[in-house]
Amino acid sequence: MNARFGIFVVVVSDIERNLNEVTERIAAAASRAGRDPSEVTLVAVSKTHPPSVLRAAIDAGALVLGENKVQEAESKIIELGRDAATWHLIGHLQSNKARKAVQLFDVIESLDSVELAQRLERICIEEGRSELAVFIQVDLAGEETKSGIPETELAPLIEFLRTCKCLRLNGLMIVPPFFDDPETTRPYFKRLRAIRDELAAKGAFSSGRGELSMGMSHDFEVAIEEGATVVRVGTAIFGAREYAAGN
């Protein structure tokens, strides 16, 4: 069973130190930008790591965990408990996994089509789940291999979400193209923030201002400078991921 998580190299005692270090870097980036560090939520991205590693992160103070695959997350969430953390789905959601996702996750950050929104809304009603927080994942780079909805297709999705009883649009999320130099990513963060501001002015978000989920291990400080309210950090907390052959 552990083969599904690959060979993991993280040392449990490192996790607490790494988590503290990332938390300090978040606070420093927020201060540099004249922001209150409490405006930024850290999602500890635990994909590929086994439940014991997630447990260590939770014990070290991680409140929110991010997983990118429903099936992989299922066994971990069942083992650790639905209430052990706030669980965010950050990977592409296939329609045949939507019901499982509704049962397992507190927040779905990767909503990227009207069809998926319709399905999630229907399942929430069937499952008696009164509220499900979602972020729309926006694709600003037109990368065919990545999930996310192009900016030009946002309007109908937002109109649909306005009619939903259960789905709550909390914010926007982006996975920009990878660049070695995080400064190259900055324009994507700026653009997402501008879109968020426009939508917030139209009252698109359930919580007024609207969250901005952007920034990963190598660029979360730049993202915070550009207004991120959620950062998704894996490697800087858990170390490098190793994938088992065949994964």
Ligand X SMILES: *Cc1c(COP(=O)(O)O)cnc(C)c1O
Instruction: Determine if 45 is a binding residue for ligand X (CB under 6 A).
Output: yes
Question: Whose Cβ is closer to ligand X: residue 157's or residue 213's?
Answer: 213
Distance CA 143, CA 92 (A): 14
| Shortest distance in whole angstroms from residue 116 CB to ligand X | 16
**What pairs with residue 89 in β-bridges?**
67, 108
Instruction: Determine if 233 is a binding residue for ligand X (CB under 6 A).
Output: yes
Distance CA 218, CA 186 (A): 12
| Shortest distance in whole angstroms from residue 43 CB to ligand X | 8
- Contact region with ligand X (CB under 6 A), list: 9-17, 70-78, 138-146, 229-237: 229-237
Question: Whose Cβ is closer to ligand X: residue 111's or residue 236's?
Answer: 236
Do 164 and 138 meet the contact criterion of CB atoms below 8 Å apart? no
Question: Whose Cβ is closer to ligand X: residue 30's or residue 231's?
Answer: 231
HSE of 43, CA atoms in CB hemisphere, 13 A? 26
Residue type, 153: E
Question: Among all chains, which residue has been given the structure tokens 């990227």?
Answer: 112
Question: Whose Cβ is closer to ligand X: residue 60's or residue 236's?
Answer: 236
Q: Which residue in the set 175, 199, 224, 228 belongs to the binding site for ligand X (CB under 6 A)?
A: 175
Question: Whose Cβ is closer to ligand X: residue 45's or residue 98's?
Answer: 45
Q: Which residue in the set 91, 148, 210, 227 belongs to the binding site for ligand X (CB under 6 A)?
A: 91
**What pairs with residue 52 in β-bridges?**
none
| Shortest distance in whole angstroms from residue 222 CB to ligand X | 13
| Interface with ligand X: number of residues (CB under 6 A) | 13
Question: Whose Cβ is closer to ligand X: residue 108's or residue 166's?
Answer: 108
Residues 178-217 that bind ligand X (CB under 6 A): 216-217
Q: Which residue in the set 68, 113, 170, 229 belongs to the binding site for ligand X (CB under 6 A)?
A: 68
- Give the CA distances from residue 52 to residues 83, 105, 227, in Å, rounded to whole numbers and listed in that order: 16, 19, 33
> Residue 78: CB partners within 8 Å, gap ≥ 6?
none
The string of DSSP codes covering 161-189 is HHT-SSEEEEEEE--PPP-SSGGGGHHHH
Structure letter (DSSP) for residue 178: P
Binding site for ligand X (CB under 6 A): 45, 47, 68, 90-91, 175, 216-217, 232-236
